[in-house]
Each structure stands twice: as C-alpha cells, then as structure tokens.
Structure 1
Amino acid sequence: MGRAIAVANQKGGVGKTTTAINLSASLAELGQKVLVIDLDPQGNTTSGFGLNRNELEYTVYNLILGECKVEDCMKEDVIENLSIIPSSVDLAAAEIELIGVEGREFIIKRAIDEIKDDYDFIIIDCPPSLSMLTINAMTTADTVLVPIQCEYYALEGLTQLMHTINLVKGRLNPYLELEGVVFTMYDARTNLSLQVVENVKSNLKQNIYKTIIPRNIRLAESPSHGLPINLYDPKSTGAESYRLLAEEVIKRGKEEDEWQ
C-alpha cells in the first residue's frame, strides 16, 4: 500500500513546493515508485517537472469535477519512477464549484484509493491556504509533512495548521498523523537560523527531521529549467540534502510498519 504524504503549510514562501518536487524526485531516484499530485492552483510543481500548464488537456481540476478519470489526467514517467497529476489555474475555481457537493472532502481520496497500491509514495503539494483543496489532501493522506522556513515568524501559523490536522483527524480521517517538520532555507552564516531551529524544537514535541535543507542558489534555479535539483545539479548541497531527507522518509515509514 502506498504511503500518501501531504506537504502543507498555509504560510507561503516556506519551500513547500520545492520540498514536494525534490523529495518526490529523490524518492524516485532511490528506486521508489512515486505519484505526485499538484493541488496548488499556481501549478508550480507541474511546471517544476517541465510540463507546460497551458498545453494540458486534463488536470486535477477535471478529476475533481468528475470530467475525467485518474488515468486521463496523469502524466506517467515524467522522470524515471515518477508520474504526476498536474494542476492548472482553473483549480482556483474548484472551491466555488464544489459548494453543496456531497462528500466533497473525499473527492481526491476516492480517485486515488483505486491506484494507491500501484505506488510506494504519493506526494501531494497543497495550496498555501487551509482550503477545501488542502482538506482533500488531508483526507487522502496518511501523514502531513510541514516545511518550516528558518526565519523569525517560523512558528506563526503552525498552531493553526496543527489545529486543522487535528480537526481533519477527528472528523474526516482518523488515521491522519503528522509526518514531521522539515526546516528549509537554512543559512548557517546567521544566528537566526540556528535560533529558529532551537526554538521550534523546544516548542514542538513533534517529529522533526534531522535533515535541514540549506539556502542554495542551484535549488532556487532548478524550477525555471523544469528539472528537480537531483537532475539539474546532482552534486549540489540542495540535491544532497533532499536525498538525505528521502532516505529519512523511507526509513521512518519502515519503522512505522514494523511498529504496527
């Protein structure tokens, strides 16, 4: 059974999409079969894998409205071992179009349940808001991975996100857990980055990944080339960091399976 992980943080600019793209690509590089679902209307994960959002016949928007099946909108093997259900700007309207639709919180889950066994990992990039799309991601997911930027307001909004996770767990998905927190945009030259990491660790009695993603120019450049970092610059510190994170995610999953 595939492990579904929602990458979520309602605060924008924290490295959420960067993490969704590069964690997925690193898992694929390690031989895992990965499906990426781009649930962000901005579609940056879609373009980050080199797909032109304006040339797609079907996207996750059509899937949500019941206009196509999963296989119709899926782009298979965009890189080795990795397929994607792309997004487009139309997705911004989905929220309004779903008003009054029965079971709207479970639309993605119902579609993905049919193919979940075909993948080792399903990574869902959420929009930077606590919307119906994010709730769909959380009803589909087994766990939520939260990227946190190493900056002064890092903890702001995290309480709200934890509250949303607990609400979804209580009312819609009793199996939902926090996958963990991953620090992004870490700058070893500043005391602030170090203070933020220590602050979050002392305030958050949650899973915190050992791997910390540094600020890295190559990491920032790679999306404009439509390539994940492990293909754009395999030897960069950004690529190495996401490989380490992918190894940690795989290891944590195995430990959970043994524990269960």
Structure 2
Amino acid sequence: MSDDDRLLTATPILNFDHPSIAQLIEDRGWKALSQHDRIGAVYDFVRNEIAFGYNSADDISAADVLADGFGQCNTKGTLLMALLRAVGVRCRLHGFTVHKELQRGVVPELVYPIAPEEIIHSWVEVKTETGWANLEGFILDAEFLSALQSTFSDTPSLCGYGAGTNCLQAPPVEWTGSDTYIQETGIVQDFGTFDAPDDFYANHQQSFSFVKGSLYRHIIRHWMNARVRRIRSGSVPQIPGRALPNHNHEDSRHAS
C-alpha cells in the first residue's frame, strides 16, 4: 500500500465505515463538494456541531465521539480524520504534549495539583490541493470561544480555559485553506506525525495511575464538562491568583 493510500484507510479508531458516520456523510452531501469545500464542511461540523468537552478516553473511536456529541483535541481530531478520509481527503495525525496550564480553569482547582504536568495533545494535518495544512482550530466550538473572547476582551494572549493563543480576539480558527490553531502556544513536546491515531496511542498514552484514571473517567471529567458548560454560557470561573478582567465571572464559591 502506498503512503497516500494509507492516509485514506479506515482503522479501528478511524471507523468511518460505521453506519452512523456513513449516514451523516450521506445526509450532508459532502462528497458532492469540491475538495476545498469538503474539508471546510467537515471541519466546520467538527468545530461547532461537536461541542468542546471531555470524553472517557483519548483513544475512543470516531463513531463513539460522534455518539457523545462532544470532544477535546484528540477525540475531535479522531472524528475529523475519519470524516475527511471517508470523503476522500488524505490526512494524518501530529502528536504533541501541552502544559497543563492550558487546561487551568477547566480542570477543577481541587484536582489541578495532581494533574500530569504535560497532557497528550494532537492536531490533524490535511493534504490540500496546494500542500499540507495543520488543523487545530476545531477544538473549541464557537460559542465556547466567544465566551472567552467576551470575558477577556482586552487580553491578546491567553493560556488557560482550554485555549493557548497569542491572538484571542481573532485566532486563526476558520477554514480558509491554510493552518488553523487555538492551543498552539501550550505545546511542550513534539512527537512527529502518525498515519492514524491508532499508531499514536500505541506509543503515547496519558500517564495516569489506575486510581487517577478511574477518578478521571467516572468523576473528574464530568466535573470538567460541567465547568465547560458554565463557561459556554458566559460564567467563567476565576483562577486563583488571576483576576478576571470584568464582572462576568462566578463568585469565589465556584473557583474550585
């Protein structure tokens, strides 16, 4: 199999042959679009119709992400890759870690000290008609990002609340045919590119003990998702030691 062909194949994680994914693609009519518009339509779907949120694990399948209806960098990236390949667009994964500071404000303060210093992160590289483009701007849905922009209206750079950007008020998150980013400034380690998420997670997993992993899956991620929903509604929790720039925040009893 050629390198290009490998970047179009299904895998256990990129299971775009699943009926729910096949039906979605048929209903949306994405295959009838030009390549540029196919990428844009799939990208916009994952960015805004799959809400920012935390799933049970990074390595769940694309069909599971679609069923959840929400995801973070890794899981939304899995769904994006599956949809792109299903409509004939070649793509691959680029793996990283980001510093946990990027998630502060979403991770409850009570558990923030025990969170890993570096968090597994990835973005999607897509092959366009003119070359490769890095897609990361799909992570935060527009409503969530708008809440951050409104709260931090005078803040050009933000590392926290799921964002890592030096241009918060106008981050490059729209599909125009080139790179998109929203967590780029939090990157610590670069693991390089992988044909599929399956290859990436076979080599790189978040370092949780059994107890911490169980706590995350069953308690902490639900707590984080509740905070994400509050942020999306405009109620942004204050991070201890950081003053919010306006009155649009929760009081101190919600800071943990």
TM bin, normalised by shorter chain, reads under 0.3
TM-score by length of 2: 0.26
User: Higher RCO, 1 or 2 (CA under 8 Å, sep at least 6)?
Assistant: 1
TM-score by length of 1: 0.25
